[in-house]
């Protein structure tokens, strides 16, 4: 038995877990506060992993959200490199892979997501990578240094960000996208067209409608095979095919899950005293009239603050205008709101100038805006969307 059961235990010490700990201490929580994480690092920011950190590759400490002294000063304890394979929410205990068992009053799942793997032959060969954790980049960076021909499976944010880094280093880069345009899951056709053109102009070979059927190679990846029958040589294959919620542990613990741990506007699960925050959650958005699962720093931070407020007995309902960013080459994309279900798309400004925005409307209301190299438009759009989407639907 480890701690006495008077405290708060958090499973996962990423962006959301770290923010929760900070907000709890700031809000006056004086009891024990313990974060369990299967990664061996103090809480760090993930966005640079596919951007600056990959390009410049410095000491991982540069990514840490706070130095070790901060956590010590705030009496936040960590069990790092220790997974939580089992939770008993009735007996209020968590078992750790290192043999410890910890009692809790309040439990918070902050388990994030995992990189989605592909059900194709060769996906486990050496030379096939994904980018989710520091340790992924520790492996990817030297492999990238030694690679000339890079094939990236997936034309979403992470795939395109890594494509930008690899192409800027002069490597031959091919992006395979199964859909008919890049970034289809997150933006409209105008923004996709801009990014498609931007990458092609810089020499990236983008293959749309390209379905990967196998990764070839005997001892390591040497190429990819497409459904069309075409084979492409590769020294390195990056799979960037999205992420899935880490909700398995919550599911076996008896919590309601729907590709994400289901929580209310206070980050409460259906078990009293058990919360969930960040990428691993799904919650009802009154603004968008449906359940959403968000993968963004904004959501991790703001939902963690909402959970802290509820735990501290000062609940504040959370119903965000989500926002996100992506850096590719010298271009910054900032997205506010959610585009799903939009009925009209208006381009404001000239994409040829690489400074423009795209407004998405549904039933006449502004529901999302992509701003390219225009921070002002992005900030204003967050306010405008908040006003126009307020209370579209009642909570369910
Ligand atoms: P995470 O930060 O993923 O942390 C969860 C932690 O829990 C992980 O360390 C995980 O290993 C651990 N864990 C899971 N299960 C267990 C268990 N059973 N026991 C112990 N530990 C466990 N967002 C943006 O807004 N802008 C961006 O530009 C952007 N770029 C990104 C680029 C990359 C390469 C990646 C991977 C993500 C990016 N994101 C970006 C998303 C953003 O990083 C996430 O939304 C954010 O990290 C979510 O925080 P989280 O705490 O919910 O999860």
> What CATH number labels 118-241?
3.50.50.60
Is 357's pLDDT higher than 70? yes
Q: Measured from the CB, is residue 246 less than 6 Å from ligand 1? A: yes
pLDDT mean over 28-52: 97
Q: Where are the beta strands (DSSP E) in 199-272?
A: 205-208, 212-216, 223-226, 231-233, 236-239, 243-245, 261-263
Q: Which fold has domain 330-388?
A: Enolase-like; domain 1 (3.30.390)
pLDDT mean over 202-210: 98
Q: Measured from the CB, is residue 303 less than 6 Å from ligand 1? A: no
Which tens digits make up the pLDDT trace of 281-290? 999 999 999 9
pLDDT mean over 126-143: 97
Q: Measured from the CB, is residue 163 less than 6 Å from ligand 1? A: no
Res 148: pLDDT: 98
Res 235: pLDDT: 98
Q: Which fold has domain 8-114+244-311?
A: FAD/NAD(P)-binding domain (3.50.50)
Q: What's the gap in Å between 46 CA and the centre of ligand 1?
A: 6
CA–CA gap between residue 128 and residue 235 (Å, rounded):
9
- In the Cβ-directed half-sphere of 44, how many Cα atoms lie within 13 Å? 21
Is 6's pLDDT higher than 70? no
Res 372: pLDDT: 98
pLDDT mean over 309-317: 97
CA–CA gap between residue 369 and residue 385 (Å, rounded):
8
CA distances from 33 to 18, 29, 127, 136, 252 (A): 11, 9, 40, 28, 24
- Percent of the chain residues past pLDDT 70, beyond the cut: 97
CATH 3.50.50.60 occupies which residues in the chain? Answer: 8-114+244-311, 118-241
Q: Measured from the CB, is residue 24 less than 6 Å from ligand 1? A: no
Res 391: pLDDT: 64
Which tens digits make up the pLDDT trace of 42-100? 999 999 999 999 999 889 999 999 999 999 999 999 999 999 888 999 999 999 988 88
Res 57: pLDDT: 87
How high is the mean pLDDT of the chain? 95
pTM for this structure? 0.96
Is 3's pLDDT higher than 80? no
Neighbouring C-beta atoms of residue 169, cutoff 10 Å: 13
Per-residue pLDDT band for 1 (boundaries 50, 70, 90) equals very low
Give the ligand 1 atom nearest the CA of 294. 45
Per-residue pLDDT band for 394 (boundaries 50, 70, 90) equals low
């Amino acid at each position: 038995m480890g701690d006495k059961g008077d405290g708060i235990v958090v499973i996962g010490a990423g962006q959301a877990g770290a923010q929760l700990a900070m907000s709890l201490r700031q809000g006056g929580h004086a009891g024990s506060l313990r974060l369990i994480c299967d990664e061996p690092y103090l809480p760090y920011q993930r966005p640079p992993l596919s951007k600056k950190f990959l390009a410049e590759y410095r000491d991982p400490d540069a990514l840490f959200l706070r130095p070790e002294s901060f956590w010590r000063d705030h009496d936040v304890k960590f069990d790092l490199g220790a997974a939580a394979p089992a939770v008993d929410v009735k007996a209020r205990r968590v078992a750790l892979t290192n043999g410890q068992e910890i009692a809790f009053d309040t439990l918070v799942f902050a388990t994030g997501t995992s990189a989605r793997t592909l059900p194709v032959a060769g996906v486990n060969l050496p030379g096939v990578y994904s980018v989710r954790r520091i340790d992924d980049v520790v492996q990817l960076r030297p492999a990238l240094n030694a690679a000339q021909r890079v094939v990236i499976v997936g034309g979403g944010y992470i795939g395109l960000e890594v494509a930008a880094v690899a192409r800027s280093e002069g490597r031959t880069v091919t992006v395979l996208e199964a859909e008919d345009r890049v970034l289809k899951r997150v933006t409209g056709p105008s923004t996709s067209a801009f990014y498609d053109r931007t990458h092609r102009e810089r020499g990236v070979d983008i293959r749309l409608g390209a379905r990967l059927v196998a990764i070839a190679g005997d001892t390591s990846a040497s190429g990819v095979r497409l459904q069309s029958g075409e084979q492409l040589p590769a020294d390195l294959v990056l799979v960037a095919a999205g992420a899935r919620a880490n909700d398995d542990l919550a599911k076996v613990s008896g919590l309601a899950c729907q590709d994400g741990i289901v929580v209310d506007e206070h980050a409460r699960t259906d078990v009293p005293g058990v919360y969930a925050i960040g990428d691993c959650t799904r919650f009802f958005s009154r603004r968008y009239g449906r359940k959403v699962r968000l993968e963004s720093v904004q959501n991790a931070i703001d939902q963690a603050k909402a959970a802290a407020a509820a735990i501290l007995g000062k609940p504040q309902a959370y119903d965000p205008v989500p926002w996100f960013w992506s850096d590719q080459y010298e271009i910054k994309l900032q997205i506010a709101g959610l585009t799903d279900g939009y009925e009209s798309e208006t381009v404001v400004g000239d994409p040829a100038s690489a400074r423009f925005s795209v407004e998405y409307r549904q039933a006449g209301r502004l529901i999302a805006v992509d701003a390219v190299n225009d921070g002002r438009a992005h900030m204003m759009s967050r306010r405008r969307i908040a006003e126009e989407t307020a209370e579209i639907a009642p909570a369910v």
